[in-house]
Structures are given as C-alpha cells and as structure tokens.
A and B are shown apart, each in its own frame.
Chain A
Amino acid sequence: MIPELGHFALIIALLLALTQAILPLIGAQRGNLTLMAVARPATQGQFVFVALAFACLVYSFLVNDFSVENVARNSFSQLPEVYRVTASWGSHEGSLLLWVLMLAFWSTAVSVFSRHLPDDMVARVIGVMGLISVGFLTFMLTTSNPFLRLLPAAADGRDMNPLLQDWGMIIHPPMLYMGYVGFAVAFAFAIAALISGRLDAAWARWSRPWTTVAWAFLTLGVGLGSWWAYRELGWGGWWFWDPTENASFMPWLAGTALIHSLAVTEKRGAFKAWTVLLALSAFSLSLLGTFLVRSGVLSSVHAFATDPARGAFILVFMVVVIGGSLILYAWRAPKMVTGGAFTGFSREAMLLANNVILLAAMGSVLLGTLYPLLMDALGMGKISVGPPYFNAVFVPLMAPALFLMGVGPLLRWKGDSLPDIFSRLKWALAVAAATGLLLPLTLKGFNPWASLGFFVATWITLTAFIGFRDRMKNGTRLFKLPRAFWGMQLAHLGLAWGIAGIAVVANYQEERDVRMNVGDHTTLAGYTFTFRGAVEHPGPNYRAARGTLEVSQDGKQLFVLHPEKRIYNASGMPMTEAAIHPNIFRDVYVALGEPLDEEAKTWAVRLFYKPFINWLWIGALMMVIGGFLAASDRRYRIAVKATVPAGAVTQGA
C-alpha cells in the first residue's frame, strides 16, 4: 500500500510540475498575473508530493518490504537501520528520486526567498525549474520507477552494495545533489534573463548567492566523495580521476568559473554573455555527469547498473534542455550590452584569466574522460585514460591560475599599476619562493612538485593576509569586514591548505606491503607495528576477519588498530575495511590483504603513513564555509531599505 502511495504521489508531483512549468511561463509571456501567481503554490505542492514519495520509499526500506523490487535489490534484512535509510538513495532509482527531491527543494526555496524579485522573473525561473522537474519525473516514472513491485516478493534482499555501507555515503550523495541541482537555479535565472532580455547587473546580483550556495554544497559533496574513497576503497588514494569523480569535478570547475565571472557582471556589468554561458554550462555539465554515470558509455568504479533505454532517455532530455538553452543563447547573446573598460592589469583581467584557465582545465578533464569513447565511436581502438594523464595535464594547467589567485583580489577594478603591486607583494613573493625552494630540502631533498605546491600555498596564504591588512587600513575592524570578503578569503585560504596537504601527502607518504605472522613487527615512518593476529568477528550483515595491530613509537605503545577483511552475507562480496588513526599532521592507515596460509595466521598487510592528508578535507571544509559566508553577505539580504544611496553597491567587496 505504502509503495503505491509513493508511486501515486510521484504522478501527482508530475502533474504539479507540469502546472508549475507551463502556466507561469505563459503568464510571464502575456503579462498575466493570475497565471504567474500559480508558480509558487504549484512549486510548493510539488515539493510536498515528492517529499511524500521519498518518505514512502524510505519507509519501504526501513520495514524491509521485499515485495518492492528496488528494496529487494538494494537492501537486506540484516542491514543496519541507518544504512537501510541510505540504501533508499543507493540505487539508480532511489538516487534519482533524491535528485528530484533536491530540485523540488531548491525550487521551493526560490519560491520563498524571491519576494523582492519582479513577478515575471520569478515566474520564469520557477517555470524553467518546473520543466526540469517534469523531465526527471517522467524519466523516473517511465524507465526507473523506484516503487515497482516484485511478484512474488523476494524472501530476502540482495543487500546494498558493500562499498556504499559507509559513513561518507550517508551524506555524500545528498550534498553532491544539492550542488548539482543548485546549479539548476543559476541555469533557470540565466534562461529567464535570456527570455526576458533583462540581462543586467540586477540579474547577476540575484543569481549570485544561489550560485555560491550551490557551489559550496558541490564542494562539500566532492570533498566527501574523496574522503569516502580514501577510507573505503582501501587503496589509500583520495582521487582517482574516475569518470564518476570527473563527472562531479567538471561542474565544480565550471561553477567556480561562474562564481568569479558573476562577480564581474554584478560589479562592473561586464562579461554578460560569458557569464550566462557559464551558468548554462555548469548545469549542463551536471546533466552530462548524470548521463555518463547512468548510461554505461564509460566504465567506472562507481557507476550505477546501466541500461541503454535510460541512457537514451537522458540523452534526449539533454538535447532538449542543453540544446534548447544554447539555441536561446545564440539567439539572444548579441543583444547583451557590454560593460565598461579595463586594462590588462585590473581585477577584471585577472578574473577573466582565472575563467580562461579554469575552463581550459575543465575542457581537459572532459577531453580525457570522453577520449576513450570518442576513439571507440570512430572505430580507432580502445584506450584507457587514467590518473597519469590527468595529473600530467591538470597540475601544470592550474598552476598559473593559483599564482594569479594571489594577485587578483588585491587589484583594483578597471586598472592598477604593476610596479605598485609588485612593491606591495615583493616580500610575500620572496617568502613564498624561499619556502617552496627550501622546505623540500629540509625534508627529503629537492622535489619540484613539492616546491610548486609549497610555493603556491604560501603565496596564497600571504597574499590573503595582505588583503585583510589592506582592508583594515582605513580603521575597519577585522570582524566588521563584509562577509563576502571573509568568505572569499576563507575559500582561498582553504584551497591553499588543501594544496599544502596535497603537496605533502603526494610527495612524502610512505607505504609498505608486508607479510605478517602473529607477533611479527615492522616499522614505517618511525612507527612500529606489531601484528597480534586476526580473529573471526561477525558483523550485522557480514563476517569479518578482524586484525589487531599495536602501534608504538620509541618503545611506547600509542594506539591499536583493527583493520577488517569482510565478506558480506548476501552478496558474498569481499571488502577491505581500513583502520585509520588520524591526527592533524598525519594518518596511520592499515589495510588487511589476504590470509597467506591455511590457518589464517599470516596475512598480507598494507601499511601507509599519510602526512598532512587531513589538511585536504580541512581545506575543502574551509572553502565550503567560505561559500556559505559569502552567500550570507548583507547586501543579498532583502531587508535593506530604499534609503541606501544608489552608488553604494559599486563599492562592496
């Protein structure tokens, strides 16, 4: 009964989404206020029904209703309760419902926080979001219904993919989808502006906080994904350039370019066509990611079970949404008026350079991800493009952008003087260069990659502090500085932290594969590991061999680690559950390999010493906080009264 209720709720949601899409768009075109007024209630109603459907799905998972095909395939009676909840978005169908829920949530948020916008703008934005909802709901109801019954019901489920039974997976998909779908708001604003022809600074001002929030969520999602892969895949890596990862990274790169270019459009009225194109691209790349992950055209570690019918549907949907928006763009772009003049050494020029590099990087990731497909489609054979390619291409490409990141925020709009800036920054440059050159020498000898990383991290950090100092020169106190400024600096500092972490862990991690009998010991990076054997350790839905390793330093025992090798009951899938002892300066990471003798006394054990790895996640978190901070800046809030002098807006952060 409950699954049918969910199914029914989805159908009603589709009807409401159709209403939300069609009536307000017609209303906006004809200037009919009654039709435009439909936008808000229809959106909120759609959200209620999608949420109801989602609740029904979670309920079916919680009560182990194995007469629902989706539950039978992705859950298990022994699965712990918390994973039964997350299993409801662990499958293709369920994650699609989560996607639609997020979309309805964002639409509702727009409908609530848009009271200060012109009615036709709101109607168009919500209408466009409704069209996207219609597409996804139709996709779900026709090819991927999460509520399909299984007759006769299965006796038990086949269990959730063991890889997904992890902490990181509880929050990673919702955050990632909040980001993906959040770009739909920027997309809808861009489309609305293109239709109405009102592409002005006001438009940029409206879409800016939404875009920044979406970007922050996406950053969090990508960061959590990386953290999950690090802990769960058991290889000690944190980024694999897998198509699924790239699918989330490309919208992130485009989104990062977008939030920077929006700044120029809002403040200087320039780059309008470019900003619109980026807004269209960020969401288009989210859709592309969905297509790549769910259609089976690429092979990836985490891809969903695939089906050509689904691939075909998303492809058609993409053609309609992306193709339609690009036609609209081509038609309207020439009408966009450009902003003011600036020189080659101005904040505008630096932001444009940042955009150019970010997009070149995004293009390279896209090229590398799709190249195997391109070659295959042209019948030129099969190749693999993996981490060595991406690392070789991505790092040199991004390095100049990271350098400019130090300079850009300190420049004035329109134009600045190079000698001036140089004299202000020469000390920072000298200190950063010295750190980059000398720090590796004190560690393990000259290492160009580590040097580059340290240089960039120090450079960004120092220039950020100079930025704060400059802003406080006129007597403003640190915590009185605008939140937008704080947010930007925090995000930049977060990136610097992350880069510092990457530079250390990529160049100075240590790793050993050893064969350990009970009582054997080995040393790595000054730690002594003593193996105390592995014992049978039953879990709720798996059997595990649980190893015990005592870790000591200079004869003093520090902590005990319990890595596990699990076999999941329902699927029979083996899983390596690494044991990690973290602190701010390093992780000690231990993974159990295979037993090497019959009695399982001797085991293959993989030991890692990962210095500064946690700086990566801390850096990502700082970027996220920075994003939220910037989006909550005073000038985006509506309560500002009409008494504000008209020119004030041009002097903000």
Chain B
Amino acid sequence: MKRWLPLILFAVLVGFFAKGLFLNPREVPSPFIGKPAPAFTLPVVATANAYAKADFSPADMKGKVWLLNVWAPWCVSCRQEHGVLMAVAQSQSVLFVGLNWKDKDREAEQLLADHGSPYVAVPDDLSGKIGIDYGVTGTPETYVIDQAGIIRMKHIGPISPDVWKEKFEPKLKELGA
C-alpha cells in the first residue's frame, strides 16, 4: 500500500488540474449574491422611459426586476457591449440602469446622445465610490436585482449576444421579469 501512495496523491492532483483547466482563476464571485443591493443616491446624467427624477436611488426600482450595468465612456469593451444592450432594450422590456463610473472627462451625456441610450437612468458615480460599494473591479460589470432589491446575479465583462441568451434570459425568466 505504502508504495502506491505517491501515485495516488499524484492522481488526485491530476484530477484537480484537469478540472482547473476549465476554470478561470480571474473570475471572482461576488459576495453580494443573495444580499440587498447597497443603497445610494446619485444625480443622473440622462433619463428615459418616464424616469423623471433628477437623481437615482435603487429604492426607486422597488417591485421591479432591473439590471445595474456599470460602464464608462472611456472603457473600450463597454462600446461593444453598448450595441448589444441597445438591441436588447429595443426588442425586450428590460430595465437597464447604467452606472456611469469615474467619468472624469464628462463624456457620458454626449456619447449617449450620439449613439442612443439603452438605460432608463444613468446615475453618475464620478468618484467611483458607489462602484467600490458594489465590489466593482473594472467596467463593464452587470448586476441583476430582483423585486425586493436583492442582487441575484453578477456578470463580469461585456455582455455578448450569447451571454445574454444563455446567462441573463434564463435568470430574468426565473425572476419573473
């Protein structure tokens, strides 16, 4: 038995390595899943869809399933994502809120005016503090928040049409949006 021990240990390690090849060490799960979305109140850059207040607070969305999309005008992959979000917003009734993160050059308003806005509201997180409160490490990141204001899912990186279909649509369905 003793002589087989190294082989057994090695076999166990190989099992983990094989599994590890399919995992991404950079993808960190959010500790907020199942917890209430942190509260904040921020002025908005742009609004649409009958959202008429001058500032935004997650409490305003109570009773609805909505998506908090953290983006920034200086973020290149957010541009790719923008087109996908536009297509989704036009074909389905999904409530996107776009947290404008650390927009030091104040470009968000112009950008949304030029290319259209998928968002119902665009709260303006100039200092980046609200992003940090949500555990954002970089843009884009998207949170799915349910009727009771609980965060149910987080996606890191741009949303592609495939990601939308495979990850978001089932979740939204499950939540009854």
Binding site for B on A (CB under 8 A): 273, 277, 280-281, 284, 291, 295-299, 308, 311-312, 315, 318-319, 322-323, 326-327, 329-330, 333-334, 370, 372-374, 376-377, 381-382
User: Is B176 on the interface with A (CB-CB < 8 A)?
Assistant: no
User: Is B25 on the interface with A (CB-CB < 8 A)?
Assistant: yes
A298 to B25, CA, bound (A): 6
Which B residue's beta carbon lies closest to that of A374?
Answer: B16
The 4 closest A-B pairs by CB, nearest first: A297-B20, A326-B7, A377-B19, A330-B3
**Nearest chain A CB to B36 CB, angstrom units:** 20
A-B contact pairs, 30 of them (CB 8 A): A273-B3, A277-B6, A284-B10, A296-B25, A297-B20, A297-B21, A298-B25, A299-B25, A299-B26, A308-B22, A312-B21, A315-B17, A315-B18, A319-B14, A323-B7, A323-B11, A326-B7, A326-B10, A329-B3, A329-B6, A329-B7, A330-B7, A333-B3, A373-B16, A373-B20, A376-B20, A377-B16, A377-B20, A377-B23, A381-B29
Contact call B23/A297, Cβ cutoff below 8 A: yes
A374 to B14, CA, bound (A): 11
Which residue of A333, A334, A372 contacts B25 across the interface (Cβ within 8 Å)?
A372
Query: How many inter-chain residue pairs (CB < 8 Å) link A and B?
Result: 68
Main SS class of interface, A: helix
Q: Which B5-58 residues have C-beta < 8 A from chain A?
A: 6-7, 10-11, 13-14, 16-23, 25-29
Contact call B26/A322, Cβ cutoff below 8 A: no
CB-defined contacts of B19 to chain A, threshold 8 Å = 377
Which A residue's beta carbon lies closest to that of B7?
Answer: A326
Contact call B23/A318, Cβ cutoff below 8 A: no
Contact call A330/B4, Cβ cutoff below 8 A: yes
A308 to B21, CA, bound (A): 6
A77 to B23, CA, bound (A): 37
**Nearest chain B CB to A250 CB, angstrom units:** 13
CB-defined contacts of A326 to chain B, threshold 8 Å = 6-7, 10
Contact call A318/B25, Cβ cutoff below 8 A: no
Which A residue's beta carbon lies closest to that of B14?
Answer: A319
A323 to B6, CA, bound (A): 9
Which residue of B25, B26, B27 contacts A373 across the interface (Cβ within 8 Å)?
B25
A230 to B6, CA, bound (A): 36
Contact call A376/B25, Cβ cutoff below 8 A: yes
Contact call B28/A382, Cβ cutoff below 8 A: yes
A322 to B14, CA, bound (A): 10
A23 to B90, CA, bound (A): 69
A33 to B48, CA, bound (A): 87
A458 to B43, CA, bound (A): 66
**Nearest chain B CB to A594 CB, angstrom units:** 15
Which B residue's beta carbon lies closest to that of A295?
Answer: B21
Which residue of B7, B21, B26 contacts A327 across the interface (Cβ within 8 Å)?
B7
CB-defined contacts of A333 to chain B, threshold 8 Å = 3
Binary per-residue interface labels of chain B (127-169) against chain A in the complex, 1 for a CB within 8 Å, 0 otherwise: 0000000000000000000000000000000000000000000
**Nearest chain A CB to B27 CB, angstrom units:** 8
Q: Which of A281, A295, A297, A333 has the most CB of B within 10 A?
A: A297
**Nearest chain A CB to B8 CB, angstrom units:** 9
A373 to B26, CA, bound (A): 11
Contact call B21/A334, Cβ cutoff below 8 A: no
CB-defined contacts of A372 to chain B, threshold 8 Å = 25
Contact call A291/B3, Cβ cutoff below 8 A: no
Which B residue's beta carbon lies closest to that of A327?
Answer: B7
A9 to B7, CA, bound (A): 37
13 A-B pairs besides A319-B14, A323-B10 with CB distance below 8 A are A284-B10, A291-B17, A295-B21, A297-B21, A312-B21, A315-B18, A330-B6, A330-B7, A373-B16, A373-B17, A373-B25, A376-B23, A376-B25
CB-defined contacts of A330 to chain B, threshold 8 Å = 3-4, 6-7
Binary per-residue interface labels of chain B (105-119) against chain A in the complex, 1 for a CB within 8 Å, 0 otherwise: 000000000000000
CB-defined contacts of B28 to chain A, threshold 8 Å = 382
CB-defined contacts of B16 to chain A, threshold 8 Å = 370, 373-374, 377
Which B residue's beta carbon lies closest to that of A363?
Answer: B9
Contact call A322/B21, Cβ cutoff below 8 A: no
Contact call A311/B21, Cβ cutoff below 8 A: yes
A427 to B25, CA, bound (A): 53
